[in-house]
Structure 1
């Protein structure tokens, strides 16, 4: 018997909350949306929290001389203010992208110049055929088949020249780093 009574009480509360939302929800949503400058996600959160507080306080209908609508608007306003204060109290949130981009944008020009000199010297250590294969493939952004047609050699030759060129470059640059 107790279970049935509590189930009907829950359903009447749910019905009252739904009716409250249907009656005051659109106006409350617009009010909160204006306060939040158009942020629909935060508006929905504040609206939900306002309705949750109405439900937990059993303030689902006008009673005891208290009108629900002004109380709901006051609760929503206070929630917006609290959220704003909380956000101001914390450090500004940043994603990883901007500061990582700033770090990479601040490449030291001298370091860049030195790196280009080292790479240029490493390229000079290659045979002319290896340099030509790298130029025709990697630097010209061509496939090995396209490079083979441009160079007039078989595709397998281009592949092997690129392979040995990259292997020699790696070894030369490792020696430079160790020195």
Structure 2
């Protein structure tokens, strides 16, 4: 294959199907979380866990088998934010998580998502190691809040770590975006 030739990848591939599945699981997760009874709480936990696993799996499959598509680049972060956002908002509505934590995390996520879309015409900033740690911490914190027997102090410590890393990686992303934009402008001769 010549350098100029690019393999066309169908948006209908397993990685994107998993991303869409994650997005489709969000309302089921929320419904299970709000239904009364410990059985429904466990169901919410299982749905959240399955959706979280698809987050790792779709990215792994896309990279390993060259299934990266423009659809996936846009839909994957949206599905991630929808799942995490629905969990945080739901836990705050239920009075189990302070609203200020939810607002800070969602504010960062929304801001970075908007920034990402603004930069699409220049380039895509790849996820950093810190971004991956942020996601793992957010998922772990939410799982701890979904489990009924976890002491509140453990929930707060892990959520606090998730919050610190979330805000820190947000600052890092903004700095990288500014640098990328400057490089792009210099390359265009502006």
TM-score by length of 2: 0.29
Structure label with greater radius of gyration: 1
TM-score by length of 1: 0.31
Query: Of the two structures, which has the highest relative contact order with CA contacts closer than 8 Å and spacing of 6 or more?
Result: 2
